[in-house]
Structure 1
């Protein structure tokens, strides 16, 4: 019986790991093209609400935005297995990249701006963003994004 329970535990753990969040590491250009908004933001507060984390932020510099206004609330799943970004700390500045859905800003662990191409990490602290990437963001110095037919 103990062997059966151990097997079940290992099996369930394996399924959980295999079904967790998986992302293709983006290049900086790919991240820029995928993003609907990019911001240097200060995290003011984190609120957990019904399976969602809501970050209240102050946008310090907006590098890309496809809408007229940019809200000060950012939504993400409260689980890393669901690609949620759960580790942003209050009173820290980050380079955040995300999408917009129904007027709300969303981030996840798959749409991130890597500080170096080929190096995958979560949304970086602003102090870790290299000067050359900061300059590219200000100048919007990225290759043209591909146009996909629907």
Structure 2
């Protein structure tokens, strides 16, 4: 499997590939309905393709001015550990530096050892000054 067969395409995958790749990469699953609603709101996204199959992805969401969030960086397990996550991040970072305002706030949630990759692009841990907080709609109390 030569790496030159893997193309970076400046287009985020469709909902089916998105859901498949998230699951394959061990990320929390998303429903096809959620993906169909959410993906059109991508500001910029990339796919890694090998022989037409999506094997990697990453995208940027946000308001296009003040706030941007890097999300959905995933590489299919058979292709992990080959620098493909770095290839995705390099494309996303280049887009941000070319398109985001200098005062823009860019965030991401780093899982596990991925924080070392993101640090190479200038991301820093903010705890204890600020911490990531989240909830899953299905499990959040209504009160």
| TM-score, normalised via structure 1 length | 0.27
TM-score by length of 2: 0.28
Task: Work out which structure has the larger RCO, using CA pairs closer than 8 Å and 6 or more positions apart in sequence.
Answer: 1
Structure 1 or 2: more helix by fraction: 2
More strand by share: 1
